[in-house]
Structure 1
Amino acid sequence: MARNTSFIKIEGTLEGLTFYKQDGKNLVRSAGGVSKDRIMTDPKYKRTRENMMEFGGSASAGKGFRTAFSGVVKKLGDSRISSRLSKVMHRILDMDSGARGERPVAISDHTVQLKNFEFNVKCAFSSRFYAPFAAPVVNANRDSVTWTIPPFNPDFSVTAPEGATHFRLLLASGLVSNYEYESATKGYSPTDEEYDGKGLISYSGHIPLNSETASDTVLTVDFAIGSALPLEVTNVVAGGIIFYQELGSTFYELASDNALKVLTLA
């Protein structure tokens, strides 16, 4: 480590040297680390390249999931949802066999890994909505979903943020394909590009928090494909709650305490 005494104060890497500031001093050192070219070509880094490829495949599968829920993921997901999904997808990848660096992300074979996934770990759906309900029902073709919530008392079944006057329940259905390695592109892509990333959302009406009983709530989403989904495609079904404040005749969506959770997969 050396000290930079020049009147020109540089920060960053230049000509193999890294200039930086620490404890008020301007320091310089040799740029460390292994070059990208060496990692990508040196036989010693074969395992590193394999890990990089599979992490990339896991990230691609996670992106496919987020695309399927693009209508709600930004406002109901936390800041770490991308990295959390990548970890789940990598667990799924680890459960399959094949050549390292080319193992598939077979979501349809390991759906249990995504069951109960919370879009925001700091605001779990089960901590906001306590009313009893059965899991959403998916039809035989797996292209239509119905969620029925029996009558409930919001006062005992909902924990709302300060200022909320109403809430809506929502049913979100997203189609996510398995992902496979393609030697031609040297990367991962969805096994079924036609359906991967498609999503639908259904909302209930605005339900008053001060009502004694909320009537039956039935939410349905239907992709209307008309035939069975390919086996390589999973229908991921999530249920959630969004809070509102009524001012005059307008409902304003609140930014906090909204939640969404994967309830079933088919």
Structure 2
Amino acid sequence: MGGLVFAKDGSVRQKPASNKATFTSSKSMVRVRENASEFGAAGSAGKLVRDALRTQIQAASDRYMVSRLSKVMKSIINLDAKSDRGMRQVVAANAASLLGFNFNLGAGLGQSLFSPYTVTPNGATVTLAIPSLNPTVDIAAPTGATHYEILFGVASVNFVAKTYISATVASPLGILPLTGAARTNVSQVATLPAAPTADELVIGVLGMNYYQQINGKFYPLNNNASNPLAVEYTSAVPVTGGGGSGNISYDTNLTGPNDNAQGVTLAASAGDLFKFDALTTGGSAPANMDILVGGAQVASVAYLDRYTGKAFSFTHAGVAHTGAFAATVNF
């Protein structure tokens, strides 16, 4: 009443200013407001990605997926080198670290699908190609499953306009028996209305769904933990790094600035991004390296010079990681 607070003990005191008023106007809260703004932007960007890929995500996600995705989006926001603090946004060209994001930590794609595959862009299309697929050998299905479905989805996300377009996948393979014959040259093509612009990020995901057939009907296994789904393609193009804010992409070996050369000295700085599934370094390599996939640390290597000329591998979700991913290197 009248800005006064009357307590039960009979005392009267001035009503304190609301926390909202302090938050929005206090000079001491400037940094807090800036951080809150960017964390909010990360959450909104993550929701945009989830909405764009909702059809694929709905059957393959864990309880922490939303927060994990927001964390990755915040790391992408941190790469915005043009905007003022508190106003930084997701820039499509900086989003290479989404590659390898696992929507369901309980089911890694590398634990379910063992066939080699490629995801290749061409203008408005993105193509999944699997040269050979033998379900009895190449697919590790959960107990009770009789059939499987390869899930391939592509979407174009515009973080500036806050819009997205989901691609149309032509002739999906559908639900297939786990005891079926081996297939060759399996291909699925996802088509967008137009080739992406500079403000658009194209994301391609690959996953597996499992079913049980009873009396001619297919029933999804009521175990979301068994369905893997991961980002296997992004249109964000890695750029030459070395200064702590670049992205360097390697298909198979992390060998240094000239890619396939063996035994060269690894030249990079904190914050550089690498894509690799084996490691070869020179004798004067950095002392140690942390490897993060989808924003979560999965390995740490000390004294890299010990790996000179030797292959290096690490495990992710309990198995050797074979799919595409982006690794953040911290020295």
TM-score band by shorter chain is 0.7 to 0.9
Question: Which of 187, 190, 201 is the aligned partner of 1:221?
Answer: 190
2:109 is equivalent to residue 117 of structure 1: no
Cα RMSD (Å):
2.2
Q: Are 2:218 and 1:237 equivalent residues in the alignment?
A: no
Query: What residue is the counterpart of 1:264 in the other structure?
Result: 233
Q: Who is 1:138 aligned against? A: 121
SS in 2 for 1:234: strand
Structure-2 separation of matches of 1:161 and 1:118: 18
Range that drifts further, 125-134 or 48-57: 125-134
Task: Indicate conservation of the 8 Å contact 1:148/1:218, yes or no.
Answer: yes
Distance (whole Å) between structure 1 residues aligned to residue 120 and residue 69 of structure 2: 24
Shift of 1:223: 2.1
Contact 1:151 1:216 in 2 (8 A): yes
> Contact (CA 8 Å) 1:170, 1:201: kept in 2 or not?
no
Asked if the contact 1:171–1:201 (Cα under 8 Å) also holds between the matched residues in 2, the reply is no
User: Residue 77 of structure 1 corresponds to which residue in structure 2?
Assistant: 61
Write the distance in 2 (CA, Å) between the matches of 1:255 and 1:233: 35
Figure out how many residues of one structure are paired with residues of the other and give that number: 218
In the TM superposition, 1:176-187 aligns within 5 A as 176-178=157-159
The residue that corresponds to 2:23 in the other structure is: 39
Q: Which amino acid aligns with 1:245?
A: Q
The residue aligned with 1:246 is 213
User: Could you tell me how far apart the structure 1 residues matched to 2:109 and 2:100 are?
Assistant: 10
Secondary structure at the counterpart of residue 126 of structure 2: strand
Residues 39-97 of structure 1, C-alpha deviation per residue, up to 9 Å, x if partnerless? 22111111001001111111111111001011122221212111111101100111122
- Determine the structure 2 residue equivalent to 1:200: 167
Paired position in structure 1 for 2:178 = 209
4+ residue runs of structure 1 moved beyond 6 angstroms? none
Q: Which residue of 2 aligns with 1:65?
A: 49
Partner residue of 1:100 out of 81, 85, 91: 85
Q: C-alpha distance in 1, partners of 2:154/2:85? A: 32
Q: Comparing both chains, which one has the higher relative contact order based on Cα–Cα distances under 8 Å and sequence gaps of 6 or more? A: 1
Establish whether residue 166 from structure 1 lines up as the match of residue 147 from structure 2.
yes
- Contact kept? 1:58, 1:86, Cα under 8 Å: yes
Question: In 2, distance between residues paired with 1:204 and 1:255?
Answer: 22
C-alpha distance in 1 between matches for 2:174 and 2:185: 11
Output aligned runs, 1:141-156, within 5 Å.
143-156=124-137
- The DSSP-based 3-state class of the residue aligned with 1:90 is helix
Q: How far, CA to CA, are the matches of 1:217 and 1:230 in structure 2?
A: 29
Could you tell me how far apart the structure 2 residues matched to 1:199 and 1:119 are?
A: 18
Tell me how far 1:109 sits from its aligned partner.
1.7
| Cα pair distance change 1:201/1:243, threshold 3 Å | farther
- Structure 2 distance, partners of 1:259, 1:130, is 13
| Counterpart in the other structure of 2:290 | none
Alpha-carbon distance, 1:254 to partner: 1.4
- Give the whole-Å Cα distance in 1 for the aligned partners of 2:24 and 2:191: 45
Structure 2 CA distance for partners of 1:43 and 1:241, relative to 1, 3 Å = same
2 CA distance for matches of 1:215 and 1:246? 25
Distance 1:223 1:120, change over 3 A: same
Amino acid at match of 1:126: G
Q: Distance in 2 between matches of 1:84 and 1:192?
A: 23
For the structure 1 residues 205 and 101, does the alpha-carbon distance in structure 2 shift closer, same or farther, using more than 3 Å as the test? same
CA drift of 1:174 comes to: 1.5
Q: Distance in 2 between matches of 1:201 and 1:48?
A: 42
Q: How many angstroms apart in 1 are the aligned matches of 2:110 and 2:222?
A: 18
Give aligned-pair identity as a percent: 28
Query: Amino acid of the residue matched to residue 69 of structure 2?
Result: L
Contact kept, 8 Å, 2:157 with 2:202, in 1: the verdict is: yes
- TM-score, scaled to structure 1: 0.76
Partner SS for 1:219: strand
Q: How much does 1:212 deviate?
A: 4.5
